[in-house]
Structure 1
C-alpha cells in the first residue's frame, strides 16, 4: 500500500513518459519540449527512455564479450552518434557539459562490464535522455532537473517497495521544478542496478505516478490511440478514444504492443487516469484507459513466434508469476483435459522450463513454433463463426467468454487479417453523434434519440459522443442518452480547437447535429468535415452564408466524401428539400417553387380579420410563444428570405441573399429602436395592414406572405412579399401556422405538387432531424453490405 509523503503538491502531479522514438533526434527533443512547454500544470514529472536505438547499441557492446577491439569500436561509434545528437540539440556551451558527462559514462563501461554490472551499462541511454531533456527545458526557461530513478525506486523480488521508494522520492523532490526521471532502471533490495524489462519505461512512469498519487499518467508514443488492430497491417483499424480498465488488462496480458501488464498493475485501484497519446500528433486527444465502467470494444491482436508449455493440473505456480519472472507475456489458455496450457514467446521457453523446474513443477514443451491471433470480444455472446470460416488453417483454437485464440503454423497475411477484422471488429458499425445546441429542438432531438437507437440497434450502434451549447460541452464517448442533461451540466467551457481535435479522434463514422442558430458556428463546418464528420443541420445560417463561404463547405464535403443534410432548415419536418432532390435525381426540371415559409406570418395573416388592430394579433402571438422575442424579426421577412435562399441553393442556383427582393410586413423605419419604440408607433403597421386587408376583401381574396422562386431562362427571379391570393389558390386554404410549398415542374405543370403542414415547432423539427439521421444511417448500412470500406 502506498504511504502518503510530506510533499503536499503531489495530488496535482502529471506524469508524462516519452519513449525512444519520441527522443530519436534533435527535432524530436524539440517537439517533446514543445509539448511540455504547452502544459499548464504546476507539478510535471517526465519519464524518459533512451534515445532512438541506443539500448540496442549498448546490448551490442555487451554482446562483444571478451573481444575488446570490437567493444572499443562499438563504444567509439556510439560516442560519436550520441555526441552528434547532443550538439544538434543544444547550444555549444551546455552541449559541451553534457558531452563531457557522456564521455565519462562511456569511459566507465569497460570497468562495469568487468565487474558484471551489465545493468549499469544499460542505464546509460536513459541517463543521457534525462540529462539532455532537462538541459533543453532549461534553455527554454523551464526549471528542470534530471533524476536517476535508481536514487529512489526500489523493487523487492520484482515487486515495488512502496514505502522505501516514497520516502526516498520525498527527499529528492524539489518545489516548482520539472523532474526528468530515467525510465527502465531501478535498484533491488540489495541496492544493485536492475532493469524493468520489455517496455520498462512505461512501467517506470506508472510507478512514479503511483508514488506521486498523480492525477494523470500520459504515455507518449508514436501512435495516436489504442487501436482495434495493428494499423500497420490493418488499414481499417479503429483508433479507440476510451478503453475500460478490465479490457486494457486483458490486452496487456495478450502482449499488446501499446499496453503492458505491469504498466497497468502499478495504477490498479487508484484514481490516476492513464492516457496514450502520440508525440507526433500532440493535438490529438489520444486514448484514455478509464477505471469506471465503459463500453467494451473489439480487438484483434497477433502474437508472433510463440510456443506452448503443458503443465499438470495440480501445479501451484501461476502464469502471472512466470510472466513476472520472464518480463514477457504468458497466457493461460482455457483448460482442455486434465492439464494446463500456457502460451509464451518461444525465446523464453528454456528460461521458463528452468524456473519451473527450480520450483519442482514439471512442464512439457511443445517445441513447435506458432503464430497466434487473439480476438478480445466486446460482447461475450458474440460468435466467431464467420471468422472460423476464414481461419481454416488454425491448428488449435481456445475460447473463453471474453476471448478466442487461434494458433497457426505461419503468420496470417495482411489480406486475411483485414477480412478477419471486418468480421470480428466491424461486424456492427458504430455511428458517433455529437449534438450542438441544447435548446428546445436540441432537447427534443435527444429525447427522441433512445427510440432511434433501439430501432437501428441490430445493424448499427448509435453512440452519443458529445453534447455542447454556447457555454459548455461534454465531449466523451458513450454519454448516457437518459442523463445527458446532468452530463452537460457538469461539462466544461470549450474551444474550437478542442472540439475539432476531439471530433478528429473519434473512430469510425461520426455526425455533427447542429441545432444552434449561430452563423459563426456554421462557418466552422469545413473544419468539422475535415475531422471526418457528416453534418445534419437545423441551423439555416450555414446554408445561407455568402456564396464563397458556402462553396468552401461544398468543396470540403466533396474532398472528404461526407454528406450534409439540412432538410429542416426550410419547412421544419416538411420534406421539401428531399422532394426537390428526388424530382431532380429522377430527371424532372423545376420551374417554380413558391409558398408560405413562415409559421408565424401564416398564423398572423390567417387570424387577422380586420376586427381589431393588426398589432393586437402580433401581441397575442408574442404572448403565445409564436414569435421571436422581438416580433419585428418575423415581420421583417428576413427569415423567409433566408429560407428561400436555402431552396435556391438546393437547386444549385448561384444566388445571394441580397438578390432576393424583400417586401417586409413592417413599414420602413419601424425596425429602428427598441420594441417599446415600435409599440409607440404601431399605428403605422395597423394602418398599412388595414389598407391591404380592405383591398384584398374587396377583390374576394386573402392576404398571405409569399416567397417565390421562378427559374427563368436568363436568370432566376426570387422575391418575398405580402400578396392577395384568390380563395381557390393553394395558399389560401390553410390552417394558422401552416407552411405550404408549391412546386411547379415539367412533370407537375398544370397541377402543381403541394406540400403542407406545420413549418415550426420543436417536435416536428426534431422529427425532421431524425428523418435526416435515418437517411444517413440507411446509407451507411447499405454501404456496409457492399464490399467497400466505410472509413
Structure 2
C-alpha cells in the first residue's frame, strides 16, 4: 500500500489535475494506492469568506459562491468526456446548493460557529476529490471514492479535531484493506466525530489525512506531492540561496515544520514516525526530481545543522514579579489558563531567578491571552506580587534545527554572533533538551536579514554577500566602482566574498537595486535615478535591512558625515574617505567609536590619513598589542610633498599648485592643503587613534602661506600666489642654502601636536621623499630609536580608491 497526497496547487485546475493523473498512472500496478487530495487552490479561503460575508449580511457571498460553482463545473467539463459529465455535474451543483443553504443559515442566525465553519469548508475537499475520482475513472483508472468522514473518527473540537486512532484504524482497515480495489480517492482535511458531525484536522490537514491512512494501513511509504521539490534549508522566498535537503529525520522535519516550514503540516509525521513509515516530499510539476525523504535516522550532510525556519506574527507574553520567586505552581497555572482557552504556546523561556517566565503565542491570540492570564492571576496582581501580563507584538521566531547539533560545540555562539553582528536584537531564547533546536525571538522586521545571515553562516560555504551603499561618485568614487567591477570575480573566487552595490548616490541622484547595481552601466542608471535626498537614502538603506551592509562615504560633505550615528545604530558598518567625522570634536569622535563597538559595526577610515597606506591599521595593531606610542613624525600631505618636490623657484609656485590640482592630488579647494588644515586633521586622527584626547585647537600650526592668499575665491587664491612669488622663492632658497629640502611635517609628542614647514637635511628619513609620497614614523616602546616607518603614495584617486576598497574588505571580515 502506498499513499499519495496532492495539495491545493497540485489540483488547482484541470491542467494540473492531468499531471496528477499521470503520476497516479505511473504508480499504479506496483502497489495498491490511496490518493488523498486537497480542495482546489484557494477554495477553502473563499468558502470561509462566503461564511464571513453571510455573517455580515453582505449579499456579495452569493456572487462569490456562483464563482466557486462555475470554477468546479468548468473543471468537470475540461476533464471528463461529455458522456460522463451529467451525473457529476448534477452532484457538484447540488453540493454548492448545500453551501448556499449553510450561508443562508449563517445570515439568518447571525452566527458562524466552529461547527458550522467545519461543515462549510468540508465541501472544498469533498467536491475536488469527487471530480478527480470521476476523471481518473474516465481515464480507465478504476477507483473507489471514500468519504473521509466515514473513515477518520475525531473528538468534537471543531477546526482542529483530535483523532481517535483506535476507532479510525478499525474503520480504515475494514474499508480499504478488505476491498478488492487497488486505487482509492479520499478527500483530505475532513473527518467526523462519534456523532457523525463533520470536523476538520486543521489547516494543512490533508497531509495529516494521508499520514493517518498510511499509518492505519501499514503503507510502505507516504508521498506528499506539492509545488516544490522537497524541503529546503530555508524558505526560498526569503533566502534566495536556500538549498535542497535530500534526506532528513522525522525529528528534524517536525522541528522545521513546527517553526514555519510550510512544505509539510506538523502533526503529519507523528503517526508515521511511530510506524517507521518513510515520507517523501515530491514535486507534482517535476515528478522526476528526487525530492526529500523523511525517515527515522538523520543523514550526515557534512553540516551540524539541517535547516533554518521561522514563524511570523508572534507575540511574547511575560509574567514577572518578586511574588513568583520560590512559589511553586505559577507555571502550571499559566499554562493551564492558556490551554483551557485553546491558546497554543509556541516557545517557553524562564529566568533562572524564577522572577519571570515568557511564552510565545500567535499574535492573533495575544489579546485573549492577556485577558485570560490577568484574570487567572488577579489576586496576585491586585496585591502587587506580580505585574499584569506584559505583551510584546510584531515579533517572529527563528529556529536553527539539526540532529547533529548536540555533538558540535559552538553552534549557539555562531548563531548569536552572526545575529549580533547584523544588528538583530534577540528578545528571548529557547533550546530544547534534545539540543536539536535553538530558537530565538526577534523583531519581525529583521526576519529576512536574520535568515539570510544565518543561512550564509551555516550553509553557504561558497561566499559571503556584502551589500554596499555608496555615496560619492566623483574622481575617487568612480575609481572605486571600476576597481569593484574589476575585482568582482577575484573576490568571490579567492576571498569568498560577493560584493554588491545596492545603493548608489551623488549630490544630484540616487538609485537602488535589490540584486545589485550593474557596474558596467551605473552612470546611465544614476543619471536616470531619483532626486538625491540624503535622509531618504539612509532610510531606504535601513528599511532594506540587509545583512553585512556597509555605508561607504566618498565625499568631503559634512551632512553625509552627520548620519554615521544613525547608521551605526542599525549595525551597519561605515567606511569613510570623508575626514570630517574622525576629525570632529573629540566628544563626537568618541561617541562614534563607542557606537560602532556597541552595535558591532565596523568603522574604517584608513584613507583619512594616507590614501591606501596602512597607517591607521598599523597604529591600531601596535596599540592593541600593548605598545605605547611615544612620538609620531610624519609628512601627511601628498599634495604639499608634490608641490615642494616640484618647486625650484624657476616655475611660479602657483603653477606647481595648479598642476597638483589638475593631477587630482589636492582637495577641491587647495587652500585646505596649503593652509595645513588637512595635515592638522590627519595628525589629530593619528593622535586620537594612539589614545590622546586632542582637539584641532590644541594643534600648533605654523603657516607658510601669506594671509592674503587665503581670501576670496579659488581663482583669487591663484592670482594672489602669483603676486607673492618672491615669498615662496625665499622659502625655497633658505632651505637650499643649507642643502636641505622643504617638507611640511606633522609631529605628535608628549600629548602635543604641531604642523609646519621644516628644513630637512640629507641625513633625515624624510629627505628622500619624492612625488606625492607620504611617510610616517612611529617611535614606540618597542621601536624607541629606529622607528617603524610607513612610506608610499599618499594622494591620488586611484590609490585612495584602493584604500577605500581595502577598508570595505576589512568591514566584510567582522
What's the TM-score, normalizing by structure 2? 0.51
Alignment partner for residue 570 of structure 2, among 522, 531, 549?
531
CA contact (8 A) 2:231 2:281 kept: no
Aligned residue for 1:416?
401
Alignment partner for residue 502 of structure 2, among 452, 460, 465?
465
Rounded Cα–Cα distance in structure 2 between residues aligned with 1:310 and 1:391: 33
What per-residue deviation string (whole Å, max 9, x for no partner) do you get for residues 385-425 of structure 1?
Answer: 69679848793233568995565899999552757975688
Rounded Cα–Cα distance in structure 1 between residues aligned with 2:534 and 2:190: 50
Aligned residue for 2:122?
none
Displacement of 1:348 in angstroms is 7.7
Rounded Cα–Cα distance in structure 2 between residues aligned with 1:674 and 1:399: 74
Rounded Cα–Cα distance in structure 1 between residues aligned with 2:679 and 2:610: 10
Q: Secondary structure at the match of 1:658?
A: helix
Alignment partner for residue 621 of structure 2, among 582, 587, 611?
582
Rounded Cα–Cα distance in structure 1 between residues aligned with 2:290 and 2:684: 55
- Evaluate the alpha carbon distance shift between residue 539 and residue 579 of structure 1 in structure 2; reply closer, same or farther with a 3 A threshold: same
Residues 1:476 and 2:513 are matched in the alignment: yes
Aligned residue for 1:215?
none
CA contact (8 A) 1:622 1:628 kept: yes
Displacement of 1:591 in angstroms is 1.3
Rounded Cα–Cα distance in structure 2 between residues aligned with 1:607 and 1:687: 17
Q: Secondary structure at the match of 1:457?
A: helix
- Evaluate the alpha carbon distance shift between residue 583 and residue 625 of structure 1 in structure 2; reply closer, same or farther with a 3 A threshold: closer
Rounded Cα–Cα distance in structure 1 between residues aligned with 2:457 and 2:213: 31
Residues 1:123 and 2:161 are matched in the alignment: no
Rounded Cα–Cα distance in structure 2 between residues aligned with 1:613 and 1:533: 48
Displacement of 1:623 in angstroms is 4.2
| Counterparts of residues 501-520 of structure 1 (less than 5 Å) | 501-504=539-542, 505-520=544-559
Residues 1:445 and 2:480 are matched in the alignment: yes
- Evaluate the alpha carbon distance shift between residue 725 and residue 491 of structure 1 in structure 2; reply closer, same or farther with a 3 A threshold: same
Rounded Cα–Cα distance in structure 2 between residues aligned with 1:463 and 1:343: 50
Q: Secondary structure at the match of 1:517?
A: coil
CA contact (8 A) 2:248 2:294 kept: no
Rounded Cα–Cα distance in structure 2 between residues aligned with 1:748 and 1:771: 27
Aligned residue for 1:200?
none
What per-residue deviation string (whole Å, max 9, x for no partner) do you get for residues 741-788 of structure 1?
Answer: 111111222111211111112221121122122223334xxxxxxxxx
CA contact (8 A) 2:575 2:807 kept: yes
CA contact (8 A) 1:630 1:675 kept: yes
Rounded Cα–Cα distance in structure 2 between residues aligned with 1:381 and 1:415: 14
Aligned residue for 2:644?
605
- More deviation, 389-398/558-567: 389-398
| Counterparts of residues 39-78 of structure 1 (less than 5 Å) | none
CA contact (8 A) 1:615 1:682 kept: yes
Rounded Cα–Cα distance in structure 2 between residues aligned with 1:554 and 1:425: 27
| Counterparts of residues 402-413 of structure 1 (less than 5 Å) | none
- Evaluate the alpha carbon distance shift between residue 673 and residue 364 of structure 1 in structure 2; reply closer, same or farther with a 3 A threshold: closer
CA contact (8 A) 2:671 2:710 kept: yes
Alignment partner for residue 675 of structure 2, among 636, 658, 667?
636
Aligned residue for 1:700?
739
CA contact (8 A) 2:664 2:796 kept: no
CA contact (8 A) 1:574 1:759 kept: yes
Aligned residue for 2:691?
652
CA contact (8 A) 2:190 2:199 kept: no
Alignment partner for residue 427 of structure 1, among 459, 466, 477?
459
Residues 1:374 and 2:231 are matched in the alignment: yes
Displacement of 1:521 in angstroms is 1.0
What per-residue deviation string (whole Å, max 9, x for no partner) do you get for residues 37-69 of structure 1?
Answer: xxxxxxxxxxxxxxxxxxx9x99xx9xxxxxxx
What per-residue deviation string (whole Å, max 9, x for no partner) do you get for residues 178-199 of structure 1?
Answer: xxxxxxxxxx99997999xxxx
Displacement of 1:452 in angstroms is 4.2
Aligned-residue RMSD, C-alpha:
4.9
Aligned residue for 1:384?
245
CA contact (8 A) 1:371 1:409 kept: no
Aligned length: 476
CA contact (8 A) 2:248 2:295 kept: no
CA contact (8 A) 1:589 1:745 kept: yes
Displacement of 1:571 in angstroms is 0.4
Q: Secondary structure at the match of 1:444?
A: helix
Displacement of 1:123 in angstroms is 3.1
Rounded Cα–Cα distance in structure 1 between residues aligned with 2:776 and 2:661: 25
What per-residue deviation string (whole Å, max 9, x for no partner) do you get for residues 634-670 of structure 1?
Answer: 2111111111122122223211112111223321232
Aligned residue for 1:777?
812
Rounded Cα–Cα distance in structure 1 between residues aligned with 2:522 and 2:187: 45
| Counterparts of residues 105-144 of structure 1 (less than 5 Å) | 120-123=53-56
What per-residue deviation string (whole Å, max 9, x for no partner) do you get for residues 529-556 of structure 1?
Answer: 1122011111111111122222332232
Q: Secondary structure at the match of 2:484?
A: helix
Rounded Cα–Cα distance in structure 1 between residues aligned with 2:133 and 2:296: 22
Q: Secondary structure at the match of 1:669?
A: helix
Please say which structure displays the higher CA radius of gyration: 2
Rounded Cα–Cα distance in structure 1 between residues aligned with 2:779 and 2:659: 35
| Counterparts of residues 256-271 of structure 1 (less than 5 Å) | none
Displacement of 1:472 in angstroms is 1.9
CA contact (8 A) 1:500 1:528 kept: yes
Aligned residue for 1:746?
781
CA contact (8 A) 2:640 2:673 kept: yes
Rounded Cα–Cα distance in structure 1 between residues aligned with 2:185 and 2:740: 89
CA contact (8 A) 2:665 2:795 kept: no
- Evaluate the alpha carbon distance shift between residue 371 and residue 346 of structure 1 in structure 2; reply closer, same or farther with a 3 A threshold: farther
Task: Give unpaired runs (5+ residues) of structure 2.
Answer: 1-44, 73-95, 104-128, 140-144, 146-158, 160-181, 201-209, 217-221, 225-229, 254-272, 298-306, 310-346, 348-398, 403-436, 440-450
